Amino acid sequence: MKMLTALAFAPALLALSAAAEAATCVYPQAPQSLPNGASATKEEMLAAQALVKDYAKNVQETYLPCLDQDQTEQLAAIDPADPKIAEKKAAVESIHAKKHNSALDELQALVDRWNVEKKAFAEKAAK
């Protein structure tokens, strides 16, 4: 009976492991909030700066290279004899470009917000 139960779950476990392999690139979580530079303390600004730097590093040194590797693997897995090879390659490249650009857009938006708060903090300190 135990053997039958184990055999029944084997296909599900294989499917789960295949899905996990396909989703190896984990999108980094951007800091949810930044301190208001006009009223923040130096310690709050330094802590936020560390979060921004960590996020940028995760995007640039972990997530984007992972996407590139994933794209390379997906393209290599396409059968060269497949009559729809051009369509499949274009689809993989399009999805990769969207993920890549989305990550960079979010990073740039965060950096822009951070720069506004840094400027406000500097102006407050100069008074």
The answer to whether residue 18 sits within a structural domain is no
Least confident of 9-13, 50-54, 68-72: 9-13
Is 15 within a domain? no
Residue 3 in any domain: the answer is no
Let me know if residue 69 belongs to a domain: yes
Residue 41: DSSP 8-state: -
| CA angle (117, 121, 114) in 5-degree steps | 20
Residue 21 has what pLDDT? Answer: 45
In a domain, residue 27? The reply is: no
Note down the domain range covering 97: 35-126
For residue 84, is pLDDT > 70? Answer: yes
pLDDT in tens, 18-60: 334 445 899 999 999 999 999 999 999 999 999 999 999 999 9
Inter-residue contact 24 to 66 (CB < 8 Å): yes
How many structural domains does the chain have? 1
pLDDT at 23: 56
In a domain, 105, yes or no: yes
Percentage of residues in the chain having pLDDT higher than 70:
82
Asked if residue 104 belongs to a domain, the reply is yes
CB-based contact 26:105 (threshold 8 Å): no
- The type of residue at 22 is A
**Quick check: is 26 in a domain?**
no
DSSP-derived 3-state class of residue 53? helix
